[in-house]
Structure 1
């Protein structure tokens, strides 16, 4: 009893131990199974059927079948006090229990078999879908590789084509154009980048104020181009100044003044003389305005205006003079009076004041009148050479270092004698920026010679260096005007760009108009900067400036973009016209606004020019027809390549490539006929002549055939193909209206389907390969239409209440026609869609 109990306990212990071991084994199996290949792995899936699994499991059991030999176990268990019989009985009990569990498992497997099969079916479906997607992706990749070849040599050719540097070679049998590169880089380019894709962040449509300014300028530029083209006078500076309507705008206050400087400068080519006279006039205008405000004494003469200015400028609030060493004569500081008369450009008035007050001059100043008269009476406002050394001596000995000297006396001596050029500033007098610039301009000597001593040399370039070295910080919001007055127009544009880009662009246009700018040459190398130093002087990249500006509105306002881009040729370098042509070509290809830019063709075939052609006289075209043909044809090829068929049709017409036009129309019409179900109409009520191939073809054939000049440019075969396709359209219309007899009559009229006999069927089959692709692809539909019409007519005749020999003969004739069609179809069946022959057979069987 105890032994049995002990054996039972030990048996249970063995079973528990086995269960734990089994659980561990199964855990290991599960973990190992995770590393098996899955459907997503590169090794593929392991797919075994249920029978295969059962077969392999049976083979494994056969190899590892246990034997009832427990001899070795006897030794193992000898010292444990456990009888081998007990162990064997325990194993039998365990086997019985395992068998029961296996039966339960088998039943569960049988119950789950349906679920397994269903799951397997779902997996197969998903696998098929996955394979279809993979196949589609592979097909798409192949399509991309075939249609978008990334061969770099080919890409270089395409890039060159974009920039119009290709030579063309037409092929008569296709409407496409083969091109070969001239292997020359764009002459205008430095970076190879599109001119119209610059780095400007300007957006003229950003807000109402910016858009309003843009439109004002655009109207002015349009009027300017009209005047240039018409050959009549137009004051660009005057018109632009009208655009500055807000005088309180501090940021833009410099721009109107810059235009005033430009307006004055274009009348005088010499920068120094122009700037001096501008500053003098500006000062006199200010003095006059001040005179009206302070109500000065006496008549409003220039002398009295300057006198009133001195009272206002040099007196303190308590009516005392700001400077203690002023020479006062009759209540007027005489030297300050002479200085400001000179500042206002009133040289003769200054001499008269000096003569009238000569008694007030000190002994050391007695020779001043002699010097001053010689200065005023000289043509170029220069002191004659015989007086220069005497004045310099007097200045150095008595004026320069006089402790109680009048500061304005020093200024007057320095100006008329160009004294002490090592110290050009007059620190003892408070000067405005304009005064400071004016004094420097007065000290400049423009005809410096090698014989002149170094201390006598002060040229415009020296003054420009001083201004540029000081930079914008010194001039307190007047740096743009300082650059303009010193003749540094290129740097002025660069600085104006930091104030307002729109204003800066138009200031550059004005400077180019008045021939004040140095325009950079595209031959100067990699010049991507707006302003650069070339050949020792500053130059402006006008192409970059205008290209950047038009970037923000080339799509919204292409017509206005042309108005600006033609200005590239304004005062440009010798290759300016060529650059202008390249940029206009870019505009056409990028915007695709072909009707606006290149023109359109009326219903009667007449051509209406686009804006580029309207401005052809402004872009220096030596052969405008060649240029327009080239740019139009290039745009047509691009449109054709992009699949924009209607655009390419328009452009090829504009390029006078009428044969190509008919070729494209034939393809459109053929595709429409072959791809539209024969039970559907080819024309809908909402179709229009601009988009429907049928209407397009009818219009063009009518225009081209009636125009002898155009007709001569079209190949006879293409014209015949188009006419034949239009006849097929009429056949389709009769078929859609169920007019079976008329349909057959029209089919017989085009002579494309064998109506006569078996011999004609064979002959048509032999000629099939020689047909154009546009006709060939429509033969299957014509056969189906013919057989359908025969079937319908035969059916009507057979169902007729009254039968006659004539009707019987007609049925026989129709059946012979059907037989001829089937012979023909049988001979060309492998050149037709697979389903076409089946449809024809079904129709024939039903006859």
Structure 2
């Protein structure tokens, strides 16, 4: 490590090597020099700023001293000196200022209003477009508030405009079979005969299939729809009426009893040795045999009611009731009368009533007996039987007896009451049961997506048709079954629907009764959502489904069937197949739409209007032609021709296609004698003649084009005709006026071409042969025509393009 002596030696060596004059100072001298330098160093903040500025700007070549001097010499006095105010007596200056201020105020207000109007129109257009797109998306996708959209399954439908599906059907075999039954039903409706049962027609579709769940679904639908149909009044009130609710409950319990009997038989036949069925038919013997299997390994201690062939009496009574055979249950009661107390009297009254209800006094006695002693007994079958006949204690789930969801549902349905319970917790209304199953338990409790048919059964058997259908429609493989269940309910007037077709697929609107938990199913949206899958490939089948919407209205008040047909026609472009086509004699050959015997003419007109509003004028021409709206046909043809009339002809071009369409219409209308408005017809034929004029000109046939424009008598070729042609201009339509600049310029080009040809030719042209005086006279004649066109263009109450005027004047000058 170096010490101080080594440093001194190194510094001396450095001084010797660099040839620096030696300066000897002691420590005192160094200290004095340091103090003097510190005294001369700047101490103010401004000086520090100057130093920093010098360091920053000096590195870039700026001399801060000179810059500071220049800045100090600048004076702001003249720059900011106020202007001399206008004197009070300077009237001209005052008026000038006021005029300028008024102009500026008007300009600013106009600018502000313009921006506000533009902003408003922009957002109105955006909102309108979004509403249309939203409806398309909602109709293409399954709308559900309980799961996110799955775009992977519906992307093909949403992007149907860019993916061609023509040539193959997107319906599977089951969907196609359903659509055939829909066709059969609609055909009967159109013919006016007796309507067949849609439930039976749809049940035939799955009768031969291997899917037992779907077969069971339609058996359940058939059972639940076998109720008194609601009158033409409010369906909500009918669905909430005690009579219809009692019918639903009765049919649901009947269905659950039937499938339970089948379950007992399967169990007994699978264990014949243990069951000891014997040869006695009937439910009583079936229940006894079932208990031989079911209760063989169950401890029966605590079960009351005596014994019937070794089985607990209350258990035999319960299972007989569970099978729906009250006579068998009465036989069981009679077998153990001495063990049942007062129950036989109540049960006899229960069996004798038509609605399965005790009278008020007996029901009160059963409820009191249940609260005092039955509730705390050790026999679960006894408690279940008392709860059913007395409709008491709805909070008990009876889990010891109800071993399945169907058992639980059957017991709850048996406890439903239909009078106003005033919020009593000791009674269970159908509305409360519906709320319990749909909202409190819900899909998660029943593992709905793992067991979709079970959850559908729970909702459907409790009269929640709309929620059941909406749930099943969310599962793609089961959607077709859900849609056709909804169709069957709709035709039976059992389906609750929202007041507007814009509502969600499943909604709950304001209740019309105090006890209303029913949802509404947007049937129209369900149909449109289902048909979106196959409307492009199977438009005939889609039309059959749209027929169910013939009595519905859109939010704008239009017929929904007509709106769907319009969208279907525009999407598939199957004009001839769906709407029919025109024969050579002008008559219309029927299409698929005519089979429904509706106002086909009005529907075609609506489709044509929609097509025109979307800017598809060529398609609208064909549709208006099909609807025999001759004025609209000629008007739209004129609009189409006016856009291309001056363009040069080219194969497969817009002009060629529109020209052929217009010529075919003109020829057919002439043959069949179609009558149209004279003004519209005149414009149409004049545009056709102008098309011929421009085609001849672009084809180099100037002499023929010249003859055509003269025969049209559209332009003045003499000075004395200018005033009359200007007056005649007032009667021209917009389609003629917008093409007049091209007509003038083209005609002037033809005249100039004739002028040059005649001027440079030694012989007479075909035109000059008909003119007296020879070549010079014809040249003067052409100059007069050019002057007439220039005068006509200048007198027109119509702003011509600037280049048109310039070109006309240039050509006229070249001829003089």
- Deviations, residues 542-586 of structure 1 (Å, cap 9, x unaligned): 16843883696598569466665665577x8xx779767369648
Q: Does 1:363 align with 2:338?
A: yes
Q: Does 1:472 align with 2:440?
A: no
| Superposition pairs of residues 209-288 of structure 1, within 5 angstroms | 212=172, 225-231=186-192, 232-238=194-200, 240=202, 257-268=216-227, 269=244, 270-288=247-265
- Asked whether the equivalents of residues 758 and 820 of structure 1 are also in contact (C-alpha less than 8 Å), the reply is yes
Q: Does 1:540 align with 2:520?
A: yes
Query: Which residue of structure 2 aligns with residue 136 of structure 1?
Result: none
Q: Note closer, same or farther for the CA distance 1:276–1:579 as it changes in structure 2 (3 Å cut).
A: farther
- Asked whether the equivalents of residues 169 and 538 of structure 2 are also in contact (C-alpha less than 8 Å), the reply is no
Q: Note closer, same or farther for the CA distance 1:586–1:824 as it changes in structure 2 (3 Å cut).
A: farther
Q: Does 1:695 align with 2:676?
A: no
Q: Secondary structure at the match of 1:534?
A: coil
Q: Note closer, same or farther for the CA distance 1:826–1:471 as it changes in structure 2 (3 Å cut).
A: closer
- Deviations, residues 426-464 of structure 1 (Å, cap 9, x unaligned): 3443532111111222222335689xx968743323333
Q: C-alpha separation between the residues in 2 aligned to 1:427 and 1:805?
A: 116
Q: Secondary structure at the match of 1:711?
A: coil
Query: Which residue of structure 1 aligns with residue 351 of structure 2?
Result: 376
Q: C-alpha separation between the residues in 2 aligned to 1:370 and 1:729?
A: 100
Q: C-alpha separation between the residues in 2 aligned to 1:159 and 1:227?
A: 43
Q: Does 1:711 align with 2:666?
A: no
1:278 shift after superposition: 1.1
Normalising to structure 1: TM-score of the pair? 0.61
- More moved, 544-553 vs 339-348: 544-553
Query: Which residue of structure 2 aligns with residue 723 of structure 1?
Result: 685
- Deviations, residues 75-126 of structure 1 (Å, cap 9, x unaligned): xxxxxxxxxxxxxxxxxxxxxxxxxxxxxxxxxxxxxxxxxxxxxxxxxxxx
- Deviations, residues 326-361 of structure 1 (Å, cap 9, x unaligned): 754345555433322322222233334555xx3xx2
Query: Which residue of structure 2 aligns with residue 339 of structure 1?
Result: 318
1:265 shift after superposition: 0.9
Q: Secondary structure at the match of 1:675?
A: coil
Q: Does 1:460 align with 2:430?
A: yes
Q: C-alpha separation between the residues in 1 aligned to 2:763 and 2:751?
A: 18
Query: Which residue of structure 2 aligns with residue 520 of structure 1?
Result: 498
Q: C-alpha separation between the residues in 2 aligned to 1:522 and 1:813?
A: 79
Q: Note closer, same or farther for the CA distance 1:674–1:392 as it changes in structure 2 (3 Å cut).
A: closer
Q: Does 1:780 align with 2:739?
A: no
1:205 shift after superposition: 6.2
Q: Note closer, same or farther for the CA distance 1:162–1:331 as it changes in structure 2 (3 Å cut).
A: closer
Q: Which has the higher contact order (CA 8 A, sep 6+)?
A: 1
- Asked whether the equivalents of residues 747 and 786 of structure 1 are also in contact (C-alpha less than 8 Å), the reply is no
Query: Which residue of structure 2 aligns with residue 837 of structure 1?
Result: 808
| Superposition pairs of residues 290-329 of structure 1, within 5 angstroms | 290-295=267-272, 297-299=277-279, 301-303=281-283, 304-316=285-297, 325=303, 327-329=306-308
Q: Note closer, same or farther for the CA distance 1:24–1:434 as it changes in structure 2 (3 Å cut).
A: closer
Query: Which residue of structure 1 aligns with residue 329 of structure 2?
Result: 350
1:279 shift after superposition: 0.7
RMSD over aligned Cα atoms: 5.5
Q: C-alpha separation between the residues in 2 aligned to 1:520 and 1:479?
A: 23
Q: Secondary structure at the match of 1:674?
A: coil
Q: C-alpha separation between the residues in 2 aligned to 1:719 and 1:147?
A: 42
Q: Note closer, same or farther for the CA distance 1:797–1:786 as it changes in structure 2 (3 Å cut).
A: same
Q: C-alpha separation between the residues in 1 aligned to 2:280 and 2:776?
A: 119
Q: Secondary structure at the match of 2:118?
A: coil
Q: C-alpha separation between the residues in 1 aligned to 2:571 and 2:395?
A: 62
1:285 shift after superposition: 2.8
Query: Which residue of structure 1 aligns with residue 637 of structure 2?
Result: 665
- Asked whether the equivalents of residues 634 and 680 of structure 2 are also in contact (C-alpha less than 8 Å), the reply is yes
Q: Note closer, same or farther for the CA distance 1:193–1:666 as it changes in structure 2 (3 Å cut).
A: closer
Q: Secondary structure at the match of 2:519?
A: strand
| Superposition pairs of residues 465-504 of structure 1, within 5 angstroms | 465-467=435-437, 468-475=439-446, 477=451, 478-496=454-472, 499-500=475-476, 502=479, 504=482
- Deviations, residues 230-283 of structure 1 (Å, cap 9, x unaligned): 45534444555677799999xxx9776554432211112522111111111121
Q: C-alpha separation between the residues in 1 aligned to 2:775 and 2:608?
A: 58
Q: 1:150 aligns with which of 93, 110, 118?
A: 118
| Superposition pairs of residues 140-219 of structure 1, within 5 angstroms | 150-152=118-120, 156=124, 196=139, 200=143, 201=149, 203-204=153-154, 212=172
1:589 shift after superposition: 7.0
Number of residue pairs matched by the alignment:
645
Q: C-alpha separation between the residues in 2 aligned to 1:634 and 1:154?
A: 23
Q: Note closer, same or farther for the CA distance 1:348–1:812 as it changes in structure 2 (3 Å cut).
A: farther
Q: C-alpha separation between the residues in 2 aligned to 1:797 and 1:603?
A: 57
Q: 1:429 aligns with which of 396, 401, 415?
A: 401
Q: 2:381 aligns with which of 397, 401, 408?
A: 408
Q: Note closer, same or farther for the CA distance 1:645–1:625 as it changes in structure 2 (3 Å cut).
A: closer
Q: Note closer, same or farther for the CA distance 1:758–1:410 as it changes in structure 2 (3 Å cut).
A: closer
- Deviations, residues 478-501 of structure 1 (Å, cap 9, x unaligned): 333222222233443454455558
Q: Does 1:749 align with 2:711?
A: yes
Q: Secondary structure at the match of 2:412?
A: helix
Q: Could you list the runs of 5+ residues in structure 1 that have no partner in the other structure?
A: 1-20, 32-144, 165-190, 618-622, 677-681
Q: Note closer, same or farther for the CA distance 1:150–1:661 as it changes in structure 2 (3 Å cut).
A: farther
- Asked whether the equivalents of residues 204 and 214 of structure 1 are also in contact (C-alpha less than 8 Å), the reply is no
- Deviations, residues 701-743 of structure 1 (Å, cap 9, x unaligned): 23344555x524x2x2332233233334445566667666655
Q: Could you list the runs of 5+ residues in structure 2 that have no partner in the other structure?
A: 1-53, 65-112, 144-148, 158-167, 228-243, 795-799
Q: C-alpha separation between the residues in 2 aligned to 1:449 and 1:566?
A: 43
- Deviations, residues 204-225 of structure 1 (Å, cap 9, x unaligned): 4669999647666666656555
- More moved, 151-160 vs 811-820: 151-160
Query: Which residue of structure 2 aligns with residue 530 of structure 1?
Result: 506
Q: C-alpha separation between the residues in 2 aligned to 1:314 and 1:758?
A: 119
Q: Secondary structure at the match of 1:692?
A: helix
| Superposition pairs of residues 431-450 of structure 1, within 5 angstroms | 431-447=403-419
Q: 1:633 aligns with which of 609, 616, 619?
A: 609
Q: C-alpha separation between the residues in 1 aligned to 2:484 and 2:371?
A: 48
Q: Note closer, same or farther for the CA distance 1:590–1:154 as it changes in structure 2 (3 Å cut).
A: farther
Q: C-alpha separation between the residues in 1 aligned to 2:126 and 2:436?
A: 50
